[in-house]
Structure 1
């Protein structure tokens, strides 16, 4: 079942989850994967651009998690799994990435709260921090990304199929197994200190 919509639209998100349960009878997994970025020096970043990134990267996952948790708590048996797409930026920012990095740090808080508050109901949450998977969003990495020392350096990427395999693995685990945090990245990508 495919429903096109905007994860920042509360009414769409409610419809998405109600139609899912109507069609399949229950919900076992939510993967919060929608995301956008905006690279600009802090003093050049508009409020509109900042809020747009926060809306998609944080408000969207909050809305989807809220609706999923409602279902997870009511269904029989209770429980379910949420996987939130974090980022290496949840740990180490890139230069000029204040909106994106702020949103991904917030995903860490959301994920921890979902694990804590969901524990009694069999709800687990994984934050998967993905770095440099070869997607449209990663295309600029081949020509060079801004480094902390001001240089632009091409960065290694890896096949996004490995991310999909990791998500499938986490999703297939039994409900009594939790994976709070998972990081997957190109082995030669700059991460520690971003340089």
Structure 2
């Protein structure tokens, strides 16, 4: 978030977590001068602690045992990143709209594709940024931070989207392996767009 919104967001977060999780929950709100997803991510990464960092979008729901199952994959020293399977989060009693149906179908096809390719030859097309875990030493490295925040298309246009595809390429280039945790207890759910804006998402993902 940008600096001008810091105090407002701090008050919202403080009230929310006090009501939901109790006053003992600790949340740090960080800001940067100018808006930009990759710069915002870099700010958080640089302030994080621990040997494993988990990145997550704000439109996902985690199952209770997600973190233990993600961490289990890092018992193999060569693993640098771990992704999850995903399904669409919709109300169980509501009929799917056309856009929700298309999004849900895409997620199910993706689950099959990434699970199979990762099992067969270790390949991963992209570790989705909706929820993904990395070894901290990879993301906190100064070379990564610099490349991540200075990624230009055709040497002229600074890229801000496609953060998950960039990190996936980075891990490949540095010799790390990646895993998809296919255990059902680690499958996240994500809120899908119920409007034609879903098509705009597809275009953005294709460009990334």
Bigger relative contact order (CA 8 A; separation at least 6): 2
Could you tell me the TM-score, scaled by structure 2's length? 0.27
Could you tell me the TM-score, scaled by structure 1's length? 0.28
